[in-house]
């Protein structure tokens, strides 16, 4: 009997999965570098620690009940500590708090919604395509893929990953922008990302291929102390103009100036999560015959002038009859 019990114990031990009971501390700053202690049972020397899909900077096996790990830089929010070893894995919640780490770069998709009904029966759809330009994988935090089989993305833990052999095609994507979307891409990977964003009228595909919408990297945003001037905006009533302004972190007021007119002040709608830009839209352009230059700046009276809030803006010019869209964006 004793031999049987020993055999049963040994067989159980041989198949014992790790278990995590506590993680201390239960949170760390987004900048990484914090040492945390993971207690539980069944840890083995080959144990590795991950935070979502991001490996810990260091993992140290202390004994079967204790691991010590160093946190990596990570996006803020509720994540999961995962202990991975040959005989299984275990999870525990963990929180990252603080600003977006400097190891990530925002990539703005200015229009990223599902189909939108427009005038004259038009239906505007957005298409995103993306490819890895070659080399190591590219992680696209903030992109949600269509859940036909396995739901991927939308969280800070398990983003869609572009490998050398994979593409993202338009029908793979859930267009969840409101109306825009930030992707967060590790700075070491963003140069490998090739992407294209297009808006087109599904009812007029025989007449045109739509309009390319610029995808904007964080480095190309404008400093709050600068202004953006968008040149050559038509006032002809054949066209309707929509100015879209994007920022992050803190919502400001947008000041829009056209020569010969009093400035307009438009409040920005604040971002509800890290993947959503602060956003403002303006359509109250004067009509006439001239072409005007539109100056856009941010105003935030209660914030220190030392705080620089980057922003970006562009205008879409839509023909009221044909629904053809032209863009006017800040260049170079």
Partner 1 sequence: MRRTVLLAALSLLFSFSLFAQSEQFKISPALGPSSGGTTVTITGPFGSWPYDVVFGEDFSASVRRVDENTVVAVTPPHAAGIVNIRLFEYDVFISTTLTFEYIGHPEREQFLLPVFTEPVQGAHGSEFRTELRGMNMDRSGPVLDVLDVWGLEIACRYTPPVCNWLEEPMVFLEPTATAADLIDYNVFQTGTPGRFIEVPRGRADDLSVSLRVYDTSRSSENYGTEIPIVRTTDFHRGSFALLGVPTDPRFRNTLRLYATGPTTVHLLVGNDAHEIQLRAGEHHFDPAYAQFTTFPTGAGTIRVLAAGEENGPAVWGFITVTNNETQHITTITPR
**Residue numbers of the site for partner 1 (CB under 8 A)?**
127, 129-131, 133-135, 164, 167, 170, 191-192, 194-198, 206-212, 214-215, 226-232, 234, 238-239, 259, 293, 317, 319, 321-322, 324, 326-332
- Least separation in angstroms between residue 299's CB and partner 1 is 15
Q: In this complex, which beta carbon is closest to partner 1, that of residue 152 or of residue 324?
A: 324
- Least separation in angstroms between residue 314's CB and partner 1 is 9
Q: Which two structure tokens, joined as six digits, stand for 159? A: 């983003």
- Residue in this structure with the two tokens 């759809």, named with its chain if needed: 125
Report which of 178, 176, 319 is spatially closest to residue 244, judged by C-alpha positions: 178
43: helix, coil or strand?
coil
Q: In this complex, which beta carbon is closest to partner 1, that of residue 56 or of residue 130?
A: 130
Exposure string (b/e) for 78-95, b if CB count within 10 Å is 16 or more? ebbbbbebeeeebebebe
Say which residues have a Cβ less than 8 Å from residue 81's Cβ, sequence separation at least 6: 20, 23, 36, 38, 49, 50, 51, 69, 91, 92, 93, 94
- Least separation in angstroms between residue 317's CB and partner 1 is 4
Residue 310's Cα: distance from chain center in Å? 16
- Least separation in angstroms between residue 291's CB and partner 1 is 9
- Least separation in angstroms between residue 191's CB and partner 1 is 5
Nearest-angstrom CA–CA distance, 276 and 183: 9
Q: In this complex, which beta carbon is closest to partner 1, that of residue 36 or of residue 317?
A: 317
Q: In this complex, which beta carbon is closest to partner 1, that of residue 156 or of residue 256?
A: 256
- Least separation in angstroms between residue 35's CB and partner 1 is 21
DSSP string, 61-126: EEETTEEEEEPPP--SEEEEEEEEETTEEEEEEEEEESSPPTTEEEEEES---S-EE-GGG-EEEE
Q: In this complex, which beta carbon is closest to partner 1, that of residue 85 or of residue 309?
A: 309
Q: In this complex, which beta carbon is closest to partner 1, that of residue 211 or of residue 252?
A: 211
Nearest-angstrom CA–CA distance, 18 and 84: 8
- Least separation in angstroms between residue 321's CB and partner 1 is 7
116: which strand partners? 124
Q: In this complex, which beta carbon is closest to partner 1, that of residue 1 or of residue 289?
A: 289
């Amino acid at each position: 009997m004793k031999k049987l019990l020993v055999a049963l114990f040994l067989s159980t031990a041989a198949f014992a999965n790790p278990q995590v009971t506590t993680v201390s501390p239960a949170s760390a700053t987004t900048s990484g570098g914090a040492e945390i202690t993971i207690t539980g049972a069944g840890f083995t020397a080959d144990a590795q620690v991950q935070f979502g899909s991001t490996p810990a900077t260091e993992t140290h096996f202390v004994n079967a009940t204790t691991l010590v790990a160093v946190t990596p830089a990570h996006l803020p929010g509720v994540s999961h500590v995962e202990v991975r070893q040959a005989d299984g894995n275990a999870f525990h919640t963990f929180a990252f708090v603080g600003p977006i780490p400097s190891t990530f770069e925002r990539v703005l998709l200015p229009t990223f919604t599902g189909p939108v009904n427009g005038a004259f029966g038009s239906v505007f759809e957005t298409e995103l395509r993306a490819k890895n330009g070659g080399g190591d994988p590219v992680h696209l935090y903030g992109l949600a893929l269509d859940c036909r089989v396995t739901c991927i993305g939308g969280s800070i833990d398990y983003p869609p990953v572009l490998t050398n052999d994979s593409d993202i095609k338009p029908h793979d994507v859930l267009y969840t922008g409101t109306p825009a979307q930030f992707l967060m891409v590790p700075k070491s990977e963003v140069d490998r990302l090739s992407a294209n964003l297009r808006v087109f009228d599904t009812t007029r595909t025989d007449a045109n291929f739509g309009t390319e919408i610029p995808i904007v990297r964080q480095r190309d945003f404008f400093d709050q102390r600068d202004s953006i001037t968008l040149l050559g905006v038509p006032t002809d009533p054949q066209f309707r103009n929509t100015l879209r302004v994007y920022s992050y972190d803190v919502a400001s007021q947008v000041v829009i100036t056209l020569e010969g007119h009093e400035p307009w002040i438009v409040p920005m709608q604040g971002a509800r999560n890290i993947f959503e830009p602060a956003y403002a839209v303006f359509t109250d352009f004067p009509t006439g015959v001239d072409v005007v230059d539109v100056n856009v700046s941010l105003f935030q009276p209660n914030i220190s002038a030392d705080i620089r809030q980057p922003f970006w803006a562009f205008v879409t010019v839509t023909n009221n009859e044909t629904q053809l869209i032209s863009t006017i964006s800040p260049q170079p």
